Each structure stands twice: as C-alpha cells, then as structure tokens.
C-alpha cells in the first residue's frame, strides 16, 4: 500500500502537539524516524536588547515575562545577580519568602507538566484531573502575591509583600491536600497499564550521552546524574532546609515522570520546614537606583533545569548587558539523540518529556548565507538599517509606525 520511500514531515512550527512554535523536520520511512532537524528562533522577542533600554526596576517586570510558567525563576535569578553587583545583603525573611514562592512555583509547573504529558499520549482524563488540582496552587498564589502567574513579588533588595499568620495556615492546608493528590498520581503513573506501555522504553538517554550533550534538570536526573543547583550552589534559603535530590536510573520518559513526582514530594517537605521557621524582620532594604560598575553570574534551579543569568552594570540606571541561558536550550540537543530509531507516535511525548519552554529558549539565531562560507557579525545599527531596507524593497514603509504607536 504505502511505498517505503523517505519523506520529510514537518512537526511545527504550528502543530497541535507543541504548545509553542518550534520547527522540527522529521525524516520518516513508514512509521520509523530516521532523523530530526531542529530549527529554533520562532519566539525571539529581543528581550535581551530591550533590557538595555530600561532601568533595573522596569527590567524586573520584563525579565519576569520571559516565560509564564517559570516567571519567578527568571525574576529571582536576575535580582540575585543585581544584588550581588550592588553588594546588598537581603534580609533573611525576604529570602525565606522568595524560597516559599519558588517551591510553590515548582509544584504548579510539575502539575502542569503531568497534564501536558497525559494529553500528548491521548489520556485526557489525567489532563483534566491534574489541572483541576493545580487550581489549588494558583488560588493560593493569587492570595499570597496578587496574581496567578507573573507574581512580581521580587524587588531589588527584597520582596514586596509579606506573609501573615493566617496565610501560613492556608499554605499548610493546601500542601496537605496536594500531597494526598500527588500520592494518587504516583499510584496511577506506576500501575496503569496503558501509561506504562506508552512511557517505558521511550526516549532513552544513557548517562554518558546525557553528560556529553549537557542535559540539565529532570532530564539529566532521570539518567542517574545527581546534579541540582539547589544542592551544588545554594542560594536564597536552600542552605537552611534539608531535602533530597530526586534521581532515577530508568533513563527514559518514565524515569522523568518519576523524578518529577519525587520532586513534588520534596517540595512539600521543604515548604513545611520553611513555613515553620520563617524569621522575623524587614522584607526589603533600600536599594540605590544607580548600580555600581561590575558583573555577576547567578544560577537558579528552575522547574526545568538550571537557569543562568549574566548581568553587567556600568554605573548608570540601565544595565549594560543581560544574558539569559534557559534550561531548555541545554536539553534540546538531547532530543535528536532520543528520537533515533523510534516511531513517529513517540515524537510528541519525547518532546514533552524535556518540558520544553521555547519562550525561554530563543535568544539569537545564526543565519548562514547560502552561497558564501564567510560568516560576518552585524552591529546593532547595521542590522537595523538592513531590515528597514529589506522591507522597503518589498513595498512596506515603517516610517509612519512610530507615530502610530505613540498616538
């Protein structure tokens, strides 16, 4: 019926399997995958450049909107870098509040991932149930911080809102309810036959491959690599609580599910310890508007892996350079390796298993000219004039656009 010839099928940029646009070009023979070509860059918004035109306080809100799910991660990572340059000693109470919100964000992100994984293998009931339980966390975060996503609780020098005693009780009640639901999902994930058939043996990444390709986060921890920034390089209040790093030796998508479920149980442990011992004190210290000259790198364990921010300050109100390395960028090389010799039906769940967040990933793309092998780097001015000329040749004129925006 079908001749066994190779053809290339595009998964993306627009595809029901992907939540965000990304280009995968899959070479198929029948149902077997021969190779994958990945093309990134559809979500590039020029955030790093935009940061240089805004003050540090305005940058806080811009960096937070790099990603909706791990917004607190990016915000805290940036603020930690700026505070390191300005040599500010943030009070202990602020560190504890930041950590509590960070763990609550990890809980909400992992519940979201469980639902998405269920949807990709066709199990919509799991999607509906996990997202219903996620509402408990979202409502709690709305009470604590004022919004369900993009919490904006950080400011340079501390946090903006305080936690009252009645809110502490609500946090503990919510954690109890969520722990009961998580135990149910652990039971389902390890015993339901159709889930195990779809997840075991799929997307295998051996330990050597994970080390060689630079995987981070639950993707690496499921291959037996015990690497977690919260333990290797503690920040905020993580040095004052005790918890275990969740690893698994299954090396496949099932292992990644188990790692995330174990991380959920650890998060409940951490939150209970923190809520019990929050010290009294001020929540914010006065920060200068002009940050002195210096540069700093700060690392943070986002729900998807290790997030790295680099900030360079030059003594004015606006930063000189901000660079963000999101965890998905480190994991996406591993996707090619995982998909060799697998079926097309495994593609959505393998991509979903690294928990992709392409909004975080896209920073800059390299375009190679077809006919020449020379590479050249364009400065900001030459890139701008090149793009205006490109559009003018095609009949589109942007000179009236700036008045339209201001008016």
Partner 1 sequence: MRPAKMIRQVLQSVFKKPATINYPAQKSGMAKGFRGKLKFYPERCIGCKMCMRDCPAGAINIKEIGEKKFSMEIDLGKCIYCAQCVDSCVKKALEYTDEFELAQLDRNKLKIVFDTKEK
Partner 2 sequence: MLALFFILVFPGFIFLSLLGLAGQFVDRKIYARLQNRMGPPWYQPFADFIKLLGKEDIVPAEANPRMFKLMPLFSLTAVVTAFLYIPLWDIKSLLSFNGDVIVVLYLLTIPTITFFIGGWYSTSLYARLGSVRALTQLCAYEIPLFIGILSSALLANTWSLSEIALFYNSHPWYWTFNFIGFGVSLIALLGKLEKVPFDTPEAETEIVAGSFTEYSGRLFAFFRLTMDIEMIVGASLITAVFLPFGLTLHPYISLVLFLVKIFGVIALISLARSLFARLRIDQMMRFCLKYVTPIALVQLLINIFLKGFLYR
Site stretch for partner 2 (CB under 8 A), options 56-64, 83-91, 342-350, 385-393: 342-350
How far apart are alpha carbons 335 and 219 in whole angstroms?
10
Asked if 235 interacts with partner 2 (CB under 8 A), we say no
Sign, Cα dihedral of 39, 42, 43, 45: positive
How far apart are alpha carbons 13 and 139 in whole angstroms?
33
How many C-beta neighbours within 10 Å does residue 277 have? 10
Closer to partner 2 by CB, 15 or 168: give it: 15
Asked if 27 interacts with partner 2 (CB under 8 A), we say no
Residue 158 parent element (H or E) = strand 158-159
Binding mask 27-56 for partner 1 (x = CB under 8 A): ---------------------------xx-
Asked if 310 interacts with partner 1 (CB under 8 A), we say no
Per CB under 8 A, the list member of 196, 365, 383, 401 interacting with partner 1 is 196
Per CB under 8 A, the list member of 16, 89, 165, 193 interacting with partner 1 is 193
Asked if 68 interacts with partner 1 (CB under 8 A), we say no
Asked if 34 interacts with partner 2 (CB under 8 A), we say no
Closer to partner 1 by CB, 65 or 269: give it: 65
CB 309 within 8 A of CB 322: yes
- The DSSP letter of residue 200 is T
* Smallest distance from partner 2 to CB 186, Å: 17
Asked if 285 interacts with partner 1 (CB under 8 A), we say no
Asked if 57 interacts with partner 1 (CB under 8 A), we say yes
How far apart are alpha carbons 97 and 284 in whole angstroms?
11
Per CB under 8 A, the list member of 162, 176, 187, 389 interacting with partner 1 is 187
Per CB under 8 A, the list member of 12, 118, 157, 327 interacting with partner 2 is 118
User: Residues 130, 224, 70, 165: what is their CA dihedral angle, to the nearest 10 degrees?
Assistant: 70
Burial degree of 278 (CB within 10 A; 0-12, 13-18, 19+): middle
CB 40 within 8 A of CB 356: no
How many C-beta neighbours within 10 Å does residue 295 have? 15
Binding mask 296-335 for partner 2 (x = CB under 8 A): ----------------------------------------
- The DSSP letter of residue 278 is P
Nearest to 141 by CA among 102, 115, 111, 180: 102
Distances (CA, A) of 160 to 105, 142, 164, 357: 17, 14, 13, 27
Per CB under 8 A, the list member of 35, 68, 122, 281 interacting with partner 2 is 122
| Helix, coil or strand: residue 59 | helix
Cα 393 to its chain centre, rounded Å, is 39
Per CB under 8 A, the list member of 8, 35, 39, 142 interacting with partner 1 is 142
Asked if 12 interacts with partner 2 (CB under 8 A), we say no
Asked if 125 interacts with partner 1 (CB under 8 A), we say yes
Asked if 256 interacts with partner 2 (CB under 8 A), we say no
Closer to partner 1 by CB, 71 or 223: give it: 71
Nearest to 246 by CA among 227, 262, 267: 262
Residues at the site binding partner 2, with contacts judged by CB under 8 A? 1-2, 7, 9-10, 15-17, 31, 118-125, 128-129, 132, 192, 194-195, 197-198, 343-348
Residues at the site binding partner 1, with contacts judged by CB under 8 A? 54-55, 57-58, 60-62, 65, 125-126, 129, 132, 135, 139, 142-143, 146-147, 150, 152, 155, 160, 184, 187-188, 191-194, 196
């Amino acid at each position: 019926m079908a001749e066994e010839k190779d053809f290339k099928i595009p998964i993306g940029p627009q595809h029901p399997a992907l939540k965000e646009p990304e280009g995968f070009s899959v070479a198929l023979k029948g149902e077997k995958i021969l190779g994958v070509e990945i093309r990134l860059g559809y979500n590039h918004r020029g955030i790093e450049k935009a940061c240089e035109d805004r003050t540090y306080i305005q940058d806080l809100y811009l960096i937070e909107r790099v990603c909706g799910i791990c917004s607190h991660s990016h915000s805290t990572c940036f603020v930690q870098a700026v505070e390191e340059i300005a040599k500010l000693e943030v009070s202990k109470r602020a560190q504890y509040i930041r950590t509590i919100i960070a763990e609550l964000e990890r809980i909400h992100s992992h519940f979201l991932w469980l639902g998405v994984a269920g949807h990709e293998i066709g199990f919509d009931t799991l999607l509906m149930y996990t997202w219903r339980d996620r509402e408990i966390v979202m409502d709690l975060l709305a009470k604590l911080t004022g919004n369900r996503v993009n919490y904006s609780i950080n400011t340079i020098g501390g946090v903006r809102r305080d936690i009252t005693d009645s809110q502490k009780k609500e946090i503990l009640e919510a954690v109890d309810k969520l722990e009961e639901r998580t135990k149910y999902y652990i039971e389902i994930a390890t015993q339901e036959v159709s889930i195990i058939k779809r997840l075991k043996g799929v997307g295998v990444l051996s330990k050597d491959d994970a080390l060689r390709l630079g995987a981070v986060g639950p993707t690496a921890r499921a291959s037996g690599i015990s690497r977690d920034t919260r333990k290797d390089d503690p920040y905020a209040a993580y040095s004052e609580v005790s918890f275990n790093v969740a690893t698994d030796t299954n090396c496949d998508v099932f292992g990644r599910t188990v790692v995330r479920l174990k991380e959920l149980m650890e998060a409940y442990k951490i939150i209970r310890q923190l809520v019990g011992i929050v010290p009294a004190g001020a929540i914010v210290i006065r920060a200068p508007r002009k940050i002195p000259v210096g540069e700093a790198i700060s690392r943070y364990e986002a729900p998807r892996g290790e997030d790295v921010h680099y900030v360079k300050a030059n003594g004015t109100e606006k930063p000189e350079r901000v660079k963000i390395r999101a965890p998905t960028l480190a994991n996406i090389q591993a996707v090619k390796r995982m998909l060799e010799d697998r079926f097309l039906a495994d593609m959505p769940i393998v991509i979903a298993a690294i928990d992709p967040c392409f909004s975080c990933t896209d920073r800059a793309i390299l375009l190679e000219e077809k006919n020449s092998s020379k590479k050249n780097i364009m400065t900001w001015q030459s890139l701008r004039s090149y793009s205006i000329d490109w559009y003018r040749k095609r009949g589109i004129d942007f000179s009236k656009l700036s008045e339209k925006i201001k008016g």
